[in-house]
Amino acid sequence: MAIPQAIQRRGFRKWYERELLVGHSHLVLLLLSALTLLGGMEAFSQPDGQRWLMGSCVLVAAAIGLWALRRYLFLLTRAEHIANQAVCPQCQAYGRWVVEPQAAVPRETEGTASDEGAPAQMRVCCRGCGWRWQIEW
């Protein structure tokens, strides 16, 4: 689900909370992968063990751990980037806004060359004072 639709559906605070939970679940996966990696390395060093099995276990744990680290950093960075723009410039209320439905512009619809690499934006409206501004991610 795209970010504007997800925020429209749940509200910003619930969306943000959910992003942090999902991000930190990847951190837990990273820690489990590190434990598996250490256990596999120790078992790999045993002379009577099945070295090919422990070697493949170490490789799989390392791959999962790298993916989990990358995903963790991506989710938290994106959530923080949006949260840093979530304060209403007019009344300073945090996270009390709604996404304006037709104004959410997905990245793919911008076709000009100058817009490539430009961040996607959504237009939001403060529920307290009605101020409108853009949030990009």
CB of 119 to Zn ion, least distance (A): 22
Using alpha carbons, select from 23, 44, 41 the residue that is nearest to residue 33: 41
To Zn ion, the closest distance from the beta carbon of 6 in angstroms equals 22
Interatomic CA distance for residues 5 and 81, integer angstroms: 17
Alpha-carbon gap, residue 77 to 84, rounded angstroms = 10
Q: What is the largest CA-CA distance in the chain?
A: 71
| Smallest separation (angstroms) from Zn ion to the CB of 64 | 43
User: Shortest Cβ distance from residue 124 to Zn ion (Å)?
Assistant: 10
- In the bound state with Zn ion, the residue whose beta carbon lies nearer, of 101 and 128, is 128
* Burial call 23-62: b when 16+ CB within 10 Å, e when fewer: beebbebbeebeebbeebeebbeeeeeeeeebeebbeebb
Q: How far is the CB of 37 from Zn ion (least distance, A)?
A: 48
Nearest CB to Zn ion, comparing residues 131 and 137: 131
Which CB sits closer to Zn ion, 73 or 129? 129
CA atoms of 41 and 35, how far apart (whole Å): 10
Closer residue to Zn ion, CB minimum distance, 58 or 126? 126
Q: Which is nearer to Zn ion, 13 or 71 (CB)?
A: 13
Count of CB atoms situated within 10 Å of the CB of 84 = 9
In the complex, which residues of this chain contact Zn ion (CB under 5 A)?
88, 90-91, 93, 126, 128-129, 131
